[in-house]
Chain A
Amino acid sequence: MKYMLLIYSDENAWTESEREHCYEESTQLVGQLRSSGQCLAAAPLHPVSTATSVRVRDGKRLVTDGPFAETREQLGGYFLIDATDLDEAIRIAERIPGARVGTVEIRPVLEIPGLPEALDAVAAADRNGHSVSRRR
């Protein structure tokens, strides 16, 4: 099973040194998860002030500044993992430094037949990222 772990937290809740420390810790975690074959992808994101939103309506492209929705906590990074079940995913999620400051949302990845192997991870990440914000 693939799971997308979406890390939400208040961007302003971090000091610069905390953020640095979080990156270091996350890098180590990714290393450990890679060696056990549990991590497919992971990355932090630039703050929402850098976000751009795109919508296509009636065939027309609309580009706006900012995230999909203004929320108190923002998506700050993600892990795409491979785990046998939800309990294993939860055990990985609790090791993510962001879980101590914000919230890690676990979303099972929907596998679509016919999606090219190497790309399906990234595609799933995008899809899930969006449906999360739509729910909020």
Chain B
Amino acid sequence: MCDETAASIRERIEELYRSESRRVFATLVRLLGDLDLAEEALHDAFASAMQKWPGEGVPENPRGWLISTGRFKGVDAIRRGVRFDASLAELAQRAEQKMAAGSARELEEDREGLEDDRLRLIFTCCHPALAAEAQVALTLREVCGLTTEEIARSFLIAPSTLAQRIVRAKAKIRRAAIPYEIPPRSELASRLDAVLQVVYLVFNEGYAASSGTTLTRADLSAEAIRLGRLLVDLLPEPEVESLLALMLLQESRRLARASPSGELILLEDQDRALWDRAQIEEGVERVQRALTSGRVGSYTLQAAIAAVHAEAPTAAATDWEQIVALYSLLLRVEPSPVVELNRAVAVAMRDGPEAGLAAIDAILDRGALADFHLAYAARAEMCRRLERNEDAAAAYRRAIGLARQEPERQFLDKRLRELGH
């Protein structure tokens, strides 16, 4: 231990910070009962390590050292009243009671116990009593450790707006006493659903920005996949594994789904040689495992559909029969007009454009999806294939008017011009 140079020890601390800091943080939140306090304590603990370890050597259990140092710093901060406000008075009392009660035992908790803290953190950040956008921001900030600036940049909003969103959410967690707990069995399914929704939302925000000019923002997708892996480790449920599979399978097409100039390329026109085979392999393997569990949920079906596409050598050679069947199942699990639209497009691939158009019109005639640009884009596509050019042009125009993303608008515009309109 003493042989290590000060420089290599500092390097080790930096490495520890990257790999362990969010884990240490999650445990400090439980011990101190407050997100802000835990964040400060975490930084104090690492600062302290930087000071002491080069001289004294790296302790045998670095994570344990960081946790107990952080906890000590946190309780000390409360005692000194550094960040004192009324709500912290009670906190101080609770933290000190915990410290007096079972300090040794708590710190010696096994790995599983500490991993539970990360799950607690995820469930707290994704609590349904918080606004959806706050859940996303908090998860990226507290669980992934992204900075406020990084998150704001990914969502194309002002850092001050995002910071305020996070401050408000933390205040609600504190004042309304949102618990730092893994939900009981009876509530786990619905609460897990909320967590998966947040992860998928982060992924989609990265995969297809909801507005703006760049089509993909890789950082958020990668972060969502990392989160997905963490969740699979902590809570290996079929739907959790399927969400990871779904994200991997979609991510595998990243390079193929836009031209170098940023133009959108449809699935059927993509160069499948560009698809990432390693991601496809992992995604397919995970979805197969989920399918054999016998508990088939919405993410499992979506991932299964993505897997059928991923394994097809060409669009024409895709097993459309199977895709239609999977969409039918998905409609039963999760009835929604968007799923119905996807099914209609698959029907067109199986039975021809006429059948597809009838199915799409049935949805539109009901008044569903009236302002969803992809519904009109799909209708236009069917009409184009049926050589009903006037109808196709009208539908493309409608879709262009509704599309929010520049690359999508350009794509639709190009199709419209190809019709000679």
Contacts and interface: CB of A to CB of B under 8 A. Distances in A.
Contacts of B127: 86
A98 interface: no
B295 interface: no
Interface string B177-196: 11101010001000000000
Contacts of A113: 86
A16 interface: no
A134 to B, nearest CB: 18
A61 to B, nearest CB: 32
Contact of A85 (B86, B178, B187): B178
B120 to A, nearest CB: 12
A87 B183 contact: yes
A108 B175 contact: yes
Contact of A108 (B86, B176, B181): B176
A112 to B, nearest CB: 8
A87 B179 CA distance: 7
B332 to A, nearest CB: 27
A1 interface: yes
Interface string A70-98: 00000000000000111100100000000
A106 interface: yes
A73 B289 CA distance: 49
Contact of A1 (B177, B181, B183, B187): B177
Contacts of B176: 86, 106, 108
Interface residues of A, number: 10
Contacts of B177: 1, 84-86, 108
Most chain B CB within 10 A, of A85, A86, A108, is at: A86
Taking each of B86, B176, B181, B183, which has the highest tally of chain A beta carbons within 10 Å of its own beta carbon? B176
B401 to A, nearest CB: 34
A85 B175 contact: no
Contacts of B368: none
Nearest to B178: A86
B370 interface: no
A84 B178 CA distance: 10
B177 to A, nearest CB: 4
Interface string A96-121: 00000000001010100100000000
B333 interface: no
A1 B127 CA distance: 18
Nearest to B187: A87
Contacts of B129: 86, 90
Contacts of A85: 177-179, 181
A94 B179 CA distance: 18
Interface string B360-401: 000000000000000000000000000000000000000000
A122 B296 CA distance: 50
A106 B177 CA distance: 12
B197 to A, nearest CB: 18
25 contacts: A1-B177, A84-B177, A84-B179, A85-B177, A85-B178, A85-B179, A85-B181, A86-B127, A86-B129, A86-B176, A86-B177, A86-B178, A86-B179, A87-B178, A87-B179, A87-B181, A87-B183, A87-B187, A90-B129, A106-B176, A108-B175, A108-B176, A108-B177, A110-B175, A113-B86
